[in-house]
Structure 1
Amino acid sequence: QVFLGLTKTGELIAVKQVDLIETEVEETEKEYTKIFQEVTLLKSLVHDNIVKYLGSTYEHHTVSIFTEFIPGGSLATIIERFGPLELPVTARYTRQLLNAIAYMHENGVVHRDIKSANIMLVPNGTVKLIDFGCAKRLALRLSRSGSHLQKSLRGTPYWMAPEVVNDSGHGRKSDIWSLGCTVFELVTGKPPWGDREPFAAMYAIGSDDFPVPTLPESFRIRVRDFVSQCMMR
């Protein structure tokens, strides 16, 4: 659950709370240790297009994670309210997202759940990536291709990269795929394979038998090419 909080200095913040299992004390403490390490990592990320993490607490089997409060709503709610976005607006948001992703990747962090619902809009037109619940330091070992990988299945079906769906190990490139899906969503109003049920979409994403969706030819060639370059199996 997410709440609006007020600090002792009078600032509004967002408070995300997670209830942990009370009966398994040792497991609960291990889980909080993981969350605390993650929040400590996220506090080190300082970027105009990434939500600011403030800290966390653990009381009465409830973890509270404190972050900057962003009043504008997510891009998902913007699409619901205004419909597909115009290309200049999409370009403005995408440029900011690319800056945030480049910064994260340079610091060894993958988001693993990039989508419009996890991108908040500040009233002045600035966007910020939120919900790093899936973010982890990339594994130190190298794959055959030279990429740092994580092998756990995380993310949301319609925006998942094929290597995430197939659990074949994924890294920075998975965020780029999700970015392509997000741009597709911003300009059309729904993500690729959005007309399928989630599990059917996952099957299509992970199978070479299904071609990767492309934007209609009514869109400019540069836009179609950008999305296609991001969404490469």
Structure 2
Amino acid sequence: MKVIAEYGNEDIAKVYLAQLREDKIDKENSKKFIVECVESVQPPIPREKKWVLIVSTMFGCPIKCTFCDAGGDYSGKLTAEEILAQIAYMVRRRFPNNHVPIPKFKIQFARMGEPSLNPAVLEAMRRLPQMFDAPVLHVSLSTVAPKVRTADKFFEELIEIKDRYYSRGRFQLQFSIHTTDIEKRDELIPIRKWSFEEIAAYGDRFCSPEKGD
């Protein structure tokens, strides 16, 4: 992975443009394998207490939400290694020894791409706890809840991963519904997706109060 540009403010957020698969680049697809990843803080909370990394899971996005610029050109899924490379770059930029001594260190799978359509996200989540010495590692996943078989399988495995690696409230699942108006939601997210009732039912299964959620 090669970072080709960065912009933003150290006190709020830094955005990195990363070039992947350099061996497959030519004049016709020079922008095809570029993703964004972000590190951010939440003022007034200092970085020493909370640090958030946001990573991409796809080259573009096939969902094509009408308000999102990531859906204009979809070029495929990232591998687990490519997802983890974004995290490793941002961590080692500040913590070269991979020790992240921050009370709330969160990684969000929420930049470019729909995570539930890429099984490599699950593998990345399994490997994360072994990659870094982070006493309190949280993960977060944002999804529009596509209603397709591959996503259904993804969500079932997600519960297992949450229970095994991120119990006691260390997994934040976000459903990007964008509006409670059903017709408007269909306009904004032009795919088959879970109904609000299906989202609520899954949420009941996902949350485990007996495990500290």
Q: Which has the higher strand share?
A: 2
TM-score by length of 2: 0.28
TM-score by length of 1: 0.26
Larger-Rg structure? 1
